[in-house]
């Protein structure tokens, strides 16, 4: 028991340190972007049925469309629990699994010589809304713990995200236009390589920040950026989603995400919802705090 | 198990700790003072169920009996709803006693404005409604 307590104290201490660091180092918007708590128990009843959270089983074979292709349709969470999680409640850490950075690390971008100052994104002001677009909206769900909804048809894959609100159309088996207009999601085509859907995106607006969401920093694309995404539904309950960013102007070598695991929403009542960045009380508050800080410095 | 926890912790740090400065819609630490978080007991007087953040309002009596009307920011309504707390829960408990662990705004900000971490309405259920800014371990999350 004493050994157990020692282990628990050690673990709780480490969690506290990690969480404290996260709080300091994480000036981001998220429902719950800090380190998940592990170990311990909240006394009394807690809303949310967190005590029922568990790692989903594989769930059975991969569903298929009438044409035999894998059906990716579903609401997918960036974890292994098939539901939105909350980092403050100590669920099984394995339920949070999206990828293991020790096994499949996501390195920082390797910039071409002399371009980092131009393309590296330095910082954002508090209150600034997150820009939706390719591929960051997908990568950023790591911190939002929010779902990605996929709706597949033979001609299109529709990708929906709640925050930052994003609607992305992926066109199957067609060529990119010869001179596509730049947009935040770019122009995306897709084709099947076996049971993997390969997305190919170009023409991404130069203001769309790339961010891995896992601590690799952010950078802006050139007009030569090319994003390749590979989606593989590995069972009824899981898919993996891997992203490669190529940019011969900005990057010395392609940036590759880990093959991140997503799990299928299990609650039939878990329906689509909206999270608009509408700036209710916050901008005024940030302005007030900034003015106060400026006044204090002037004294 | 023993070897597993440090690995998990390292992984969690890598995922959440060294976070990117790219996204900044909301820096809780920029707006609220996590060193001054406290338990508040008062009466539920209002709920603003709106994006991007919901606000709960409550009246709290100070030591002299003077009523302070607090507005506490919470996470986005959809996330609360998915995690077991709805607008109806607040409406059903309006005008009744409530308790909340909250962190006030930083000096220079609006008085009686803060952020809620956890709260209990009169139904006695603990609800996670905000960031765990203090990184409280689970056994310390109670009222």
Please list the ranges in chain A whose pLDDT falls under 70: 1-35, 126-127, 213-215, 279-280
Give the DSSP H or E segment for B43.
Answer: strand B38-48
Distance from CA of A9 to the nearest CA of B (A): 11
Cα(A265)–Cα(A148) distance, rounded to whole angstroms?
10
Residue-averaged pLDDT of chain B:
84
Best mutation target, A30, A147, A160, A266, to test chain B (most B CBs within 10 A): A30
What order of strands is seen across the sheet that includes strand A120-121?
A120-121, A218-219, A210-211
Interchain pair B22, A128: CB under 8 A: no
Query: Which residue is closest to B71 within chain A, CA to CA?
Result: A281
Cβ separation A7–B22 shorter than 8 A: no
Give the pLDDT of residue A143: 84
What CATH number is attached to the domain comprising A256?
A: 2.40.128.20
**Rg of chain B's alpha carbons, rounded to an integer?**
16
The confidence band for B31, taking pLDDT boundaries of 50, 70 and 90, is confident
Residue A31 lies in a domain: no
Using a 10 angstrom Cβ sphere, with 0-12 exposed, 13-18 middle and 19 or more buried, the burial of residue A14 is buried
Nearest to A262 by CA among A120, A90, A72: A72
The residues facing B78 across adjacent strands are none
* Number of other residues whose CB lies within 10 A of the CB of residue A245: 26
**pLDDT score for A213:** 63
Domain boundaries, position A180: 54-282
The CA distance from A154 to the nearest CA of chain B, in Å, is 31
Who has greater pLDDT, A224 or B142? A224
- Residue A263: CB partners within 8 Å, gap ≥ 6? A56, A76, A77, A79, A80, A81, A82, A237, A238
Instruction: In whole angstroms, give the CA distance from residue A54 to residue A42.
Output: 17
pLDDT tens-digit series, residues A159-210 = 999 999 999 999 999 999 999 999 999 999 999 999 999 999 999 999 999 9
- Residue ranges per domain, chain B? 23-140
- Looking at the structure of chain A, the number of domains it has is 1
Residue A292: per-residue pLDDT: 84
How far out from the chain centre does Cα A257 lie?
11
Q: Which pLDDT does position A293 carry in this prediction? A: 82
CATH class of B23-140: mainly beta
Residue A271 lies in a domain: yes
Compare CB distances from A46 to B13, B126, B137 and report the shortest one's residue.
B126
What is the mean pLDDT of the segment spanning B114-119? 96
Residue ranges of E strands in chain A: 74-77, 120-121, 148-152, 156-161, 166-172, 187-193, 196-202, 210-211, 218-219, 226-233, 238-246, 255-256, 260-264
Residue in chain B nearest A9 by alpha carbon: B137
Q: How many CB atoms lie within 10 A of CB B70?
A: 22
Which among A20-24, A278-282, B16-20, B121-125 has the top mean pLDDT?
A: B121-125
pLDDT for B18 equals: 31
- Indicate whether A121 belongs to any domain: yes
Closest Cα in chain A to B18? A215
- Omega before A245 cis (within 30°)? no
Assess if residue A288 is contained within a domain: no
Instruction: Supply the Cα-derived Rg of chain A in whole angstroms.
Output: 21
- What pLDDT shows up at residue B2? 35
Q: Is residue A157 part of a domain?
A: yes
A251 three-class SS: strand
Q: Kindly report the nearest CA distance between residue B13 and chain A, in angstroms.
A: 6
Residue B96, min C-alpha distance to chain A (Å): 19
CA dihedral sign of residues B84, B85, B91, B94: positive
Q: What is the pLDDT of residues B60-112, one digit of tens each?
A: 998 899 999 999 999 999 999 999 999 999 999 999 999 999 999 998 888 99
Which of B10, B28, B84 faces A48 most closely, judged by CB atoms? B84
């Amino acid at each position: 028991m004493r050994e157990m307590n020692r282990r628990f104290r050690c673990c709780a201490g480490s969690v506290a340190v990690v969480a404290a660091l996260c709080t300091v180092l994480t000036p981001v918007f998220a429902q719950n972007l800090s380190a998940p708590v592990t170990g311990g128990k909240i006394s009394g009843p807690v809303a949310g049925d967190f005590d029922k959270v568990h790692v989903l089983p594989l769930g059975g074979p991969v569903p298929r469309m009438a044409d035999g292709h894998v059906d990716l349709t579903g609401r997918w969470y960036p974890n292994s629990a098939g539901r939105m999680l909350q980092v403050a409640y100590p669920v099984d850490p394995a339920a949070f699994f999206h990828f293991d950075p020790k096994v499949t690390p996501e390195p920082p971008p390797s910039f071409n010589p002399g371009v980092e100052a131009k393309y590296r994104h330095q910082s954002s002001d508090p209150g600034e809304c997150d820009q939706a677009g390719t591929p960051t909206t997908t990568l950023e769900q790591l911190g939002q713990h929010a779902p990605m909804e996929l709706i597949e048809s033979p001609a299109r894959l529709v990708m929906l995200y709640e925050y930052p609100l994003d609607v992305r159309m992926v066109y199957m088996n067609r060529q990119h236009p010869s001179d596509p207009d730049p947009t935040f999601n770019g122009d995306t085509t897709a084709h099947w390589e076996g049971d993997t859907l390969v997305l190919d995106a170009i023409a991404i607006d130069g203001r769309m920040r790339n961010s891995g969401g896992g601590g690799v920093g952010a950078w802006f694309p050139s007009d030569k950026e090319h994003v390749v995404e590979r989606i593989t539904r590995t069972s009824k309950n899981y898919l993996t989603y891997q992203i490669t960013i190529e940019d011969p102007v900005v990057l010395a070598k392609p940036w590759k995400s880990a093959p991140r695991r997503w799990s299928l929403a299990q609650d039939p009542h878990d329906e689509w919802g909206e999270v608009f960045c509408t700036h209710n009380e916050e901008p005024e508050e940030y302005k007030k705090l900034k003015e106060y800080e400026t006044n204090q410095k002037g004294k | 198990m023993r070897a597993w926890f440090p690995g998990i912790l390292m992984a969690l740090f890598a995922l959440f700790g060294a976070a990117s400065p790219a996204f900044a819609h909301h820096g809780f630490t920029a707006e609220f003072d996590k060193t001054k978080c406290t338990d508040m007991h008062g009466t539920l007087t209002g709920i603003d169920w709106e994006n991007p953040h919901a606000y709960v309002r409550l009246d709290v009596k100070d030591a002299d009996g003077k009523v302070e009307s607090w507005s506490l920011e919470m996470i986005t309504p959809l996330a609360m709803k998915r995690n077991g707390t709805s607008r109806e829960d607040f409406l059903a408990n309006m005008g009744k006693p409530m308790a909340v662990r909250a962190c006030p705004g930083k000096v220079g900000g609006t008085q009686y404005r803060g952020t809620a971490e956890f709260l209990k309405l009169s139904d006695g259920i603990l609800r996670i409604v905000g960031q765990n800014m203090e990184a409280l371990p689970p056994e310390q999350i109670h009222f």
